[in-house]
Amino acid sequence: MSSMGEINFFLGLQVKQSAEGIFINQSKFVEKLLKTFKMQDCQNIRTPSDVNSKIQPDPKGKSVDQTLYRSMIGSLMYLTASRPDIIYLKGKPNLGLWYPYEGSFELYSYSDSDFGGCALDRKSTTGGCQFLGPQLDSWQCKKQTNVSVSIAEAEYIAASAGCSQCDEPHCELLCCGIHRPEVSHEVSFELQGAAKDS
């Protein structure tokens, strides 16, 4: 086995290492993605879509090419390996994740939900992210499996999901032989809407 030096490119991820830390992005993949789907000449706009619009099925509408659609969605899902925000691909192709070498081992989890956001089944969507010190460790966005009857219930389900995500980074530290009694856990979620609802 021979050493080929520092890693620069791995499975579509560009890795830039410096004395301060590691930066991971997918700017070449973004460029290829925009070209593949003929979006390289698209216009940049501040808000790509109406945040309050609800997607409804259109049985009389024109059928879409399922292969093309699945290819787009699959590419965007792969892109989330290095950037949680995939909205501004054309305007900010170099967005990525920065992992500094120095930092604390405090674990933070943030979560939120939209109450009954899906117009079809009235299920809420949970979103969350976990930080290990200043580094973003993981993020997720998923429709809840049950229909919440109140904002408070939707928020508590989101908080529970955020708490369960905290176990993985803590286990990763232990598996790497890093046992730090000062590792702290803090879970934050807002219940302003829930307080108004109750």
Domain limits of the chain? 1-42+67-101, 103-197
Question: Are 131 and 107 contacting, i.e. CB atoms less than 8 angstroms apart?
Answer: yes
One digit per residue, the tens of pLDDT, for the chain of length 198 reads: 566 777 888 887 888 888 888 888 888 988 898 899 888 888 877 766 666 677 777 888 888 888 998 998 888 888 887 777 777 788 888 888 887 877 776 777 888 888 888 878 888 888 888 887 777 877 888 888 889 888 888 888 888 887 777 776 666 666 666 555 454 555 555 554 444 444
103-197: CATH topology: Nucleotidyltransferase; domain 5 (3.30.420)
Its pTM stands at 0.64
**Contact between 15 and 98 (Cβ < 8 Å):** no
| CA proximity to 106, closest of 36, 42, 188, 41 | 188
Backbone phi, psi, residue 113, to 5°: -145, 160
